[in-house]
Structures are given as structure tokens and as C-alpha cells.
Amino acid sequence: MASAGKSYCISFQNIQAALSTVKPFVKKTPVMTCSHLNRLANRNLFFKCENLQKTGSFKFRGACNAVSKVVASNQDGPDRELSVVTHSSGNHAQAVSLAAQVQGVTAHIVMPSNSPAVKKEAVKSYGGLIVECEPTEQSRVDTADQVAEKTGATMVHPNQSPEVMAGQGTMVFEILEQVERVDAIVVPVGGGGMLSGISVAAKELCPHAKIYAAEPKNADDCAVSMARGERTPLPAPPVTMCDALKTSIGPRTWPIIRDHVDDVITVTEEEIKAAMRLVWERMKLVIEPSSAVGVAAVMTDKFRKLPANAHQNVVVILCGGNVDLEHLPWMSQN
């Protein structure tokens, strides 16, 4: 579906290079199956368990690739302390912290002052240095810029950085070693970093595989953008249990998504909650709500109606498992 001659901010070669770069650091996560879920979905489902990745989400791949680039581009430079900065309170923050720590780089993590304690603790445990900001988008961006200026740290954007996008795409190489014939890949979408990386890699490695984005209905900027043919960010911060999917797709990820993704499947909060419980109870895997979006998507009527013969083997990305055990979705009052 990609138009010839169009250039995106990442290429297949970038992802191939990223694979060698991140291999020493990342886990080749297992692909798991569950006969009960297969029966429910009436497909062969293959779950790529990125919840078992280091730091508990796929974000570690992109973070490793981005940090490696900082190290590589300073190889012949003066011997100085290298650092990176990012603004995130979630999985990307933890990923960048550890990716930096294992490569001897300092990580400055800009986090809103009201971030949950468990997230602050996680970042600290991976060696990240927390810089607090006000809980507004503007403050996050401004504070990160200030840190970059003061320390010379390189900014690592959670989903618009090409190195991050390429890093996320490396999981496709593993998937193809682990699953015999991939008919479709279902990918949760927030900012689109993973979806873009996977799309570009899959286009080259398994061009016949369909790519589906899975999104919360309450944060459906990707679905709306695809329907309108033009990037349409969310007008206001969304209300969804999927912390990690609240960002809208960005200017770099949009063109790739527009040209590679076959369709977007949106799911309700109830469907997400049910899918999360299903995976916890049946597969004994702790996945966060954002991961459950892909599982919920394959259980929808929309997905079921897709032609069976072309959608028999479906890979679902379980993107992360960092949950706050004190605030599980089925415990809240809604």
C-alpha cells in the first residue's frame, strides 16, 4: 500500500541496523498461545509478549537504539559524560533510564510532579534522574528543553524519534522466526512509534501480512485520521484507562500509518477491561490496559467478520505489563 518514491523518516535498512544494535540488550520475548482465546476469537492467535521485555514494555527496544546512536555519534569525540533527556512518566521513561544505564549514559527524566509513586520508584530503580515539572504539556516540553540546554543531553522523543521507531520495528524479525505464517498483525496505537516501526519492517519481511491498529474508542485519533485521510489529533486529553495510549499520532508516524495500515479497530473501555481480565486469568500474564486493546480488537465483531482464510494466523502485540496493582480497572467505581 505504500506509494513508491515516498520517503518516510525510517527505512527498512534503519530497522535492520537497529536489530544488530539492540540485540545485545533486549530480550527476545516469547510468543505464547492460548487455546481458550483461540476458541473465543475463532483464529490462531499468537501473542508477542513484550510485557516480558526488560522494563516491562516494548519501549526498551526503541530506547536502546536511540541511546546507542548517542554513544556512537560521540565515539571519536571528546571524552565527556553523555546524557539523554525525555519527558514521560510511563514506560518510555523506564525504558530510557535502563537503556542509558546499561550503556553508561545519564538519563534525565522529566516527569509531572503528580506522577504515581510507583512510576517514580521504577524510574529511579533503573538509574534515571527525575526532574519534576508541572502536570501540563507545556511544562513537560519546556522543562525537557531546559534540561537539554543545561546538560547538553540529547532528546529522545517517545514516538517521533526515528531511532525509537526503528527500534520498535525490530520485533518483527523475531516474530517471523517464532510464527510460521503471519496473516495479520494487530498493534495497539498511541503515538504510533510501534505501529510505524512494525509497518515498515513487515512491508519488507512479510508483505502479505495485514496490519491492523487497535485503539481505545475514547482516544481514537488514529481511526479518525485514517477515515479523514488527514492527521487529526485528539482535541482534548482523552479519558481512558489506557495510560500509554493517550498521545495522538504525530507528524512523523502519520504518513507511515496512513500508507501501511489496513484498518483501525476501536474498542470500548468495557471491552478493554474484559480482555485484560481474560489474559490475566487464562494466560497468567500481567498486561496493562494498553496491551489489552489488541486482544479486545480481535474479539470485536468487526475483526470476526474479516475473511477467515486470509486472517487465520493473527499476531497480537502484548505491548506492556506495567500496572499499578493498587488501581486496577475493575476496582474503580466506573
Contact region with another protein (CB under 8 A), list: 40-48, 177-185, 214-222, 318-326: 318-326
Sign of the four-CA dihedral 17, 21, 26, 30: positive
Helix (H, G, I), strand (E, B) or coil at 274: helix
Amino acid at residue number 251: P
Q: How far is the CB of 168 from another protein (least distance, A)?
A: 18
What is the H or E stretch that residue 49 is in?
A: strand 44-49
Q: Is 225 tagged catalytic?
A: no
What is the H or E stretch that residue 68 is in?
A: helix 59-72
Rg, C-alpha atoms of the chain: 19
Beta bridge partners of 6: none
Among 14, 21, 51, 232, binds another protein (CB under 8 A): 51
Q: For 13, what's the count of Cα atoms within 13 Å in the CB-facing half-sphere?
A: 3
Which of 48, 59, 119, 273 is catalytic? The answer is 59
Among 255, 285, 302, 313, binds another protein (CB under 8 A): 285
Helix (H, G, I), strand (E, B) or coil at 131: strand
Instruction: Extract the C-alpha cell encoding 27.
Output: 530480550
Contact region with another protein (CB under 8 A), list: 137-145, 257-265, 285-293, 297-305: 285-293
Note whether 104 and 81 are within 8 A (CB).
Answer: no
CA distance 214 to 187: 6
If the CB atoms of residues 131 and 285 are measured against another protein, the closer one turns out to be: 285
| 321 binds another protein, rule: CB under 8 A | yes
Among 39, 80, 228, 284, binds another protein (CB under 8 A): 284
Which of 57, 68, 88, 89 is catalytic? The answer is 89
In 10 A of CB 127, how many CB atoms? 15
Q: How far is the CB of 32 from another protein (least distance, A)?
A: 8
Report in angstroms the alpha-carbon separations of 267 from 85, 244, 260.
33, 15, 21
Q: How far is the CB of 324 from another protein (least distance, A)?
A: 9
- Window 26 to 45, contacts with another protein (CB under 8 A): 30, 32
Among 228, 326, 332, 334, binds another protein (CB under 8 A): 326
Contact region with another protein (CB under 8 A), list: 171-179, 226-234, 264-272, 325-333: 325-333
- Taking the chain, what is the end-to-end CA distance rounded to the nearest angstrom? 41
| 12 binds another protein, rule: CB under 8 A | no
Note whether 52 and 284 are within 8 A (CB).
Answer: no
How would you classify the pairing of strands 44-49 and 313-318? Answer: parallel
Q: Is 59 tagged catalytic?
A: yes
| 125 binds another protein, rule: CB under 8 A | yes
- Window 95 to 124, contacts with another protein (CB under 8 A): 118
Residues contacting residue 33 through CB under 8 Å, at least 6 positions apart: 44, 45, 46, 47
If the CB atoms of residues 122 and 195 are measured against another protein, the closer one turns out to be: 122
- Window 228 to 257, contacts with another protein (CB under 8 A): none
Beta bridge partners of 86: 109
- Window 58 to 97, contacts with another protein (CB under 8 A): none
| 193 binds another protein, rule: CB under 8 A | no
| 181 binds another protein, rule: CB under 8 A | no
| 331 binds another protein, rule: CB under 8 A | yes
| 317 binds another protein, rule: CB under 8 A | no
Nearest Cα neighbor of 191 from 237, 246, 138, 145 is 246
Known catalytic residues are 59, 89
Residues that bind another protein in the complex, under the rule CB under 8 A: 30, 32, 51-52, 54, 56, 118, 125, 277, 280-281, 283-287, 321-323, 325-326, 328, 330-331
